[in-house]
Each structure stands twice: as structure tokens, then as C-alpha cells.
Amino acid sequence: MSNKIILFSVGIYGIFFAGSLLYSLLKKGSKKSAVKKGLEELSLKFEKAVSEIRNEIKLKTQSIEEVKDNRERGWSDETRTFYEKHILPEKDLLERGGYFDPVLRILDLLDKEGGCPSVVSIHEDETQKPFKNRYQQLKEITLRTHSFNVAEKIKELLSRKSGGKTLLGRALLEALSHDIGKIPRYFKDGRYLKGDHPFISAELLKEILPSDLHERKRIINAVRDHHQKNTKDDDTRLLREADSIARSKEGGSPDREEGVVERDKPLNEIESVDLGWLDLKEFLGKLEEKINILKPDNTFEAFTTEDGVVFFYMGSVSDTVYFLAKKKGISLKGVGRREIEMEIRKLLKDFIPDYIGKDYPGAKFEVRDKNGQELFQGYYMPLFINAFQKSLSYYEERKTGILRRVKTAYPLVGMAR
């Protein structure tokens, strides 16, 4: 940059000298019009040169300041390299959308605490033994590295998409934060299961993102739902694809994608019912008592799947409302189960996966074991695990009998009732 300044000074001196000479000639009246034209052209070239040099000096000064900022943040080489390659070139775009500062905060978190494995051991879990070698391989990949890999892949996917640049800000936030719930100090109850971390990540993201950030809720939901195979949200689908590709390249196996299923036809003309008297905390507390409890006759009312969803038998949902109404002396005479189910669906809409349409209380599901074999079918209302007080790992430990074999559930076409 010092050479440019020297050249800049020499240029000024040269132009000044030439200008003085031309002015002298002009004053003497020698070739007045030609000299005047030459002076004007020389002046324009000078202004252009000055502008170019100023811009270059400004850019180099900004670059030096960026490097200084990175060093002051104390980032590792890995984080600094990722930032300079994938974030810094998009700084203006990210700042305009309000995404730049949140990205820096997540980079700070990953740099400081992202040195942990990108996969977490599930102690004493018999079902994980067949995947021991894969776990050993993937635990060598740090959470920081995996997050950067997903962010890099999501940029690549967006570059192939029309208008993808406009989605870059929130996509980068989703990619970088999707697994921060795997940082050990954030585990609930000191335990961990696959379905826990998306909800922990989403809760952490609520603290990081400004309350007025554009599409804030959508970003949080994409992170929360990134293990939901049946999602309809485009952001979540993109994140799942980037995560799957990155994990494949790291040595893991991508999640097996299922085909998109049609939603059940809506229930016809279900009337609204007033449940304003219902204490949702008390209601969820009663439902919580049923999760993964196998009765002596080998029946059950609710079970969890490995992606962090609790499935409640629809009759159990309405039975719980009837029970609480009777306890409070409230008459629900003439109020049918389906009216209750639809009203509960509205009250708990924030905990219902998006593959259940807003006009449906639930769907018919096929429940499968770890090998993809069908165990049973039923009509259930699915709720995210964060509707309840404990972690997925806590409820998984309740499982006995056939419930220990339950791993996944897939919605089917058609009503079960």
C-alpha cells in the first residue's frame, strides 16, 4: 500500500507540473482551444485515477481491519480460514439482512466449544453396538468441522438455485447452528439422545438471534426440525440435504429419505369447542405420565421415536381432557372426541410437526423398528419432545417390551378412525 501512496504523490506532482505548463501556454494564447481540450481530458483522467487509488486503499484498509478483528477474537486457524473464505466475501449481503453479527456469535461459540465430537456416544444403548465402527470414525470429526462442512455445502446448493443468494443469510445461520445442542454443557439431565440436540440447538438459537431478525422463527424451526424426515418446509429440506451430503463425505451414512406422503382428507365440519378452562401445563403433565409406559396387558398410550417426537393415541388425548373436566366440575356433555382433538391441536400448534396439516388433529402412522420393519399401525397425535419437561433420553429409559424396539414412525394415507 506504501508504494501506491508514493505513486499517488508522484502523480499529483506530475499533474500539477503539466497543468502549470498548459496554463502558461493558454495564457500566451498559443493553440488555445487544443490546449484547453487537452487540459480537460487530462483532468478527467486524473480524477478517475484518484478515485481508483482511493477505492483500492479503502479496500486494503478494510481487509487489514478484518484480519485485526479476527485476531482480536482469538479464533483458531480453522475458524479464521472458514470466515475469510465463506463469510467475509458475503459481509455486505449479510449485514443488510441483519445476519452478520449472529453469524459471528455462532462462530465464536463453535470456535470456543466446537472441538467436541460431532457425534455423541449413547452409553449403554444396545441398539448402537452395530454402529460402533461408524461412531469411532465420525467422532474424529469435530462439531466445528462438521458445522463448517454443512455451511459450505449449503452455499454450494444455493449457488445452483435461482435466487439462492437472497436465502444465504438465514441458510448460513441454520447450517452453522443446527448441531450446537451437541455441546456437552447443554445436555439436559447430563444425558443425550439423537432427538435431543435439535431442540437444544433451537433454544440456544433463540438467545443468539435478535428478536427483530427477519425470518427468525423460520430459522429456529428449521434447526429444530432438521431430523424430521417428513417436513414440508423448504429451509428444513435444504438443511437436511446439506447435512446429509456433508455427513456422507465425512464417512457417515445419510438418513434414508422417505417419499412425500399425502395428507389425510380433513375431518368434515368439526365444530369448535371452548377449552378456555383447560390448564395446558396440567394437561401436558397428565400426558407426560403416559409416555413410554407399557401396561401389564402390554398396551400403551404414547411412545417416543428417535427423532424426538412423542406419539399419543388420539383416544388418550381426549380421555385426558374428559378426566380434567370432570375433576374441575365442568360438563362436556355432547362434546365429541374429534371436537376435543381438533381444539387441542390448535392449542398445541407450536409443538405439532409441520407434516400434520393445520386442519388435522393427527394421522395414521406405521411404526417401525431399527431395521425398518413394521411393528404396528395406529392413529396418533405427534408432539415434539420439548412440549414436556424432560429430555428424550429420560423418556427412552422408561421403555420396556415392544416399546424398546420402536425407532421411527411414518404417516400413511387414509384415516384410521
Residues 45 and 93 in one domain: no
Confidence band for 45, pLDDT divided at 50, 70 and 90: low
Residue 365 has pLDDT above 50, yes or no: yes
Q: Write down the pLDDT at residue 260.
A: 28
Q: Write down the pLDDT at residue 255.
A: 42
Point out which residues pair with 409 in neighbouring strands: 367
- Domain stops at, among 36, 57, 73: 73
Residue 302 has pLDDT above 50, yes or no: yes
Residues 85 and 209 in one domain: yes
Q: Write down the pLDDT at residue 15.
A: 56
- Domain stops at, among 56, 73, 90: 73
Give domain status of residue 255, yes or no: no
Amino acid at 360: Y
Give domain status of residue 405, yes or no: yes
Residue 54 has pLDDT above 80, yes or no: no
Host domain of residue 184? 79-250
Give domain status of residue 193, yes or no: yes
Residue 136 has pLDDT above 60, yes or no: yes
Task: For residue 409, report the phi and psi dihedrals to the nearest 5 degrees.
Answer: -145, 135
Task: For residue 7, report the phi and psi dihedrals to the nearest 5 degrees.
Answer: -60, -40
Q: Write down the pLDDT at residue 417.
A: 33
**Grid cell for residue 29:** 494564447
Task: For residue 371, report the phi and psi dihedrals to the nearest 5 degrees.
Answer: -95, 5
Q: Write down the pLDDT at residue 258.
A: 30
Residues 231 and 337 in one domain: no
- Which range, of 14-28, 228-242, 289-303, 341-355, averages the lowest pLDDT? 14-28
Residue 56 has pLDDT above 80, yes or no: no
Residues 51 and 137 in one domain: no
Confidence band for 236, pLDDT divided at 50, 70 and 90: very high
* pLDDT per residue as tens digits for the range 248-260: 778 654 443 332 2
Query: How does the average pLDDT of the chain come out, rounded?
Result: 78
Q: How far apart are CA 92 and CA 98, in angstroms?
A: 10
Residues 85 and 59 in one domain: no
Based on the structure, what is the number of domains in the chain?
Answer: 3
Give domain status of residue 370, yes or no: yes
Best CA proximity match to 412, nearest among 227, 230, 195: 230
Residues 187 and 245 in one domain: yes
Amino acid at 350: D
Residue 386 has pLDDT above 60, yes or no: yes
Average pLDDT value for residue range 122-140: 52
